[in-house]
Chain A
Amino acid sequence: MGNKQTIFTAQQLDAYQDCTFFTRKEIIRLFHRYRDLAPQLIPLDYTSGPDVKVPYELIGSMPELKENPFRQRIAEVFSEDGEGNMTLDDFLDMFSVLSEMAPKDLKAYYAFKIYDFNNDDYICKSDLEKTLSQLTRSELSEDESRLVCEKVIDEADLDNDGRLSLDDFQHMIGRAPDFLSTFHIRI
């Protein structure tokens, strides 16, 4: 096949390579993965930059995301409209941040946004409770859940405002031994 591909213009491909951590081949491959989600919706020719979105239901049923308890939040964070319906740019962005080539700070930033359920730029107690209930499929009792959330705030809240800011979160996650290996999706 060589260098001849008719999906993107040369500038588009260069732009994608600059914005994400993927190579040209990977971008083409990811485009085909994206298109396979909704072949009738996505044209094969992206040179004109069409404005199409794949609805959240199809994104959430991808094998890489299907078992993840936070898939809805991930899609919401990376989608333009905040509802989970993703354009190709959003799609590439999402998998680029979650790939192993992305640096820790970038991942921490997006992880913070994912776990911030009410989008108020702080992880407060209700966000923690929602995270915990999705993580354990609501197996913990109310008392146990409350204890855990209080402990988390105790441990990580450095400016003592009762909620985690981005700085608190990054400070805490920077020391975590498993963060990079678990916050990783391979596609």
Chain B
Amino acid sequence: MGKPYGSMPRKKVPRGEEGSAMDFAILWDFGGYAQYSVLFYGYYNSQRAIGWLKFRMPLSYFLVGVGTVAYSYMVVIRTMARNANEEGGGDDTSFNFSWKIFTSWDYLIGNPETADNKFASITTSFKESIVEEQESHKDENIHLTRFLRVLANFLVLCCLAGSGYLIYFVVRRSQKFALEGLESYGWWERNEVNMVMSLLGMFCPMLFDVISALENYHPRIALQWQLGRIFALFLGNLYTFIIALMDEINLKREEEEVVKFNMTIWEASLYNGTLAANVTAAPITVDPADVPRGPCWETMVGQEFVRLIVSDTMTTYITLLIGDFLRAIFVRFLNYCWCWDLEYGFPSYSEFDVSGNVLGLIFNQGMIWMGAFYAPCLPALNVLRLHVSMYLQCWAVMSCNVPQERVFKASGSNNFYMAMLLVILFLSTLPAIYTIVSIPPSFDCGPFSGKNRMFDVIQETLQSDFPTWFGKVFSYASNPGLILPFILLMV
């Protein structure tokens, strides 16, 4: 096992912060003891091999990070391929209703519960087909519909632009606050960026929903448009957030240069002039808490992501409680003393929102993919969060929601959701990979400290752990002249 807490400078809370390291406010913000724990990148030691098994920790850290992304790609693409096979068969719709009536009951069913489910699904299927049939008979005024749709898209674009500008404005403001020191501001200013992003994420989808009433699409198509718009909204938000993060990373790296310079001065001051120049003396033991630290930008990135996910979770739960639960209580109990029927008119019970929930899951996953390299325990935290979410939302749906008025099979759009997941996977691993490839790691924290680039660990392993002929073979194989034809072959 690696060295325990307190044994090295990177693994211990600095002397200056010790007093407040256990405060709940600091811990909730993932500072203090939470920051100097296995939760974040900065805690890990850069020792090449640990223990009597010679476990290559930095190498494993790197490979696990890359491996999880590769595995995720494989799983998503394989699921999409499997779904595509199943959906591709039913293109013939000439005997739609006849087949439904004569071939939908499965004669092999012998279990009463299965039979109940089957009856329900057959009924739903008939209702959906009936709705589609009625829709296709309606007379349409094409010009009016087209105009309304263009108008709706224009309004949506305005919303997206507005939200993008708002986030940019808030981020600039928070940078200004950071320059002036965060202590002089209250809770709102400190958490402004996260709160604004969460609030936008809560209110804009509702706005899109209202605008989409103009468009008059079939429910399945309307759902896809809604998902696409919310997707654009979140993507804009997330990328603005990442750009802000990049600015902070650059700031921290400048700070690091200053700290490195100060370290040499500090070390000299330890010996206190008892040495002549060019003499190496035995190192004086210093308590790790007193060693001056570089600002660890990787831990900062990890912290930002964990904070984002926590605030996202909180927003979801609070929206659930207020939007669904309180509303249901209001409608149920105040109905007796209200002028109009609350249950049928406004506000009535909230409908179960398929698109919102699916997107919430997909974006949660995207944020995990982004932050997992810098906060290794993030997936574990997320599993916990998903368990809690599942039970909470299950209860909320059963007690406060009504099903959507228009009946349609959302599961028919399976591949659409998978495609979104794939795009998110690509877009969220992009920033992480960019930082791995182009930014040098901090000099005093994390498993890659001291290296020029994080992927140098692979180079190092090849040179020192494998026999020399392997290294030669690899260097021949990685010749661009060989790789290019190979890539062309794969394409």
Contact = CB atoms under 8 A, between A and B. Distances in A.
Nearest to A134: B105
Given A67-B111, A147-B133, A182 B103 contact: yes
A184 interface: yes
Contact of B103 (A63, A98, A144, A183): A183
Interface string B172-216: 000000000000000000000000000000000000000000000
A70 interface: yes
Contacts of A151: 96-97, 133
Interface string B89-107: 1101011111101111111
Interface in A21-74: 63-64, 66-70
A155 B97 contact: yes
Given A67-B111, A67-B115, A182 B106 contact: yes
B95 A148 contact: no
Interface residues of A, number: 38
B3 interface: no
B109 interface: yes
A156 B98 contact: yes
Contacts of B114: 67
B107 A182 contact: yes
A181 B115 CA distance: 17
Contacts of A109: none
B95 A140 contact: no
Interface string A119-140: 0000000001001100111011
Nearest to B90: A177
Nearest to A132: B101
B5 interface: no
A8 to B, nearest CB: 28
A131 B98 CA distance: 11
Interface of B: 89-90, 92, 94-99, 101-112, 114-115, 119, 122-123, 126-127, 129-130, 133-134
Given A98-B107, A135-B122, A148-B97, 20 more contacts: A67-B109, A67-B112, A67-B114, A69-B105, A132-B101, A137-B123, A147-B133, A148-B129, A148-B130, A152-B97, A155-B98, A172-B95, A176-B98, A176-B103, A177-B90, A179-B102, A179-B103, A182-B103, A183-B107, A184-B108
28 contacts: A66-B110, A67-B111, A111-B102, A115-B102, A128-B101, A131-B102, A136-B123, A137-B119, A139-B119, A139-B123, A144-B130, A147-B130, A147-B133, A148-B101, A148-B130, A151-B97, A151-B133, A152-B101, A156-B95, A172-B98, A177-B89, A177-B90, A178-B103, A179-B99, A179-B102, A179-B103, A181-B106, A182-B108
Interface of A: 63-64, 66-70, 98, 111, 115, 128, 131-132, 135-137, 139-140, 144, 147-148, 151-152, 155-156, 172-173, 175-179, 181-186
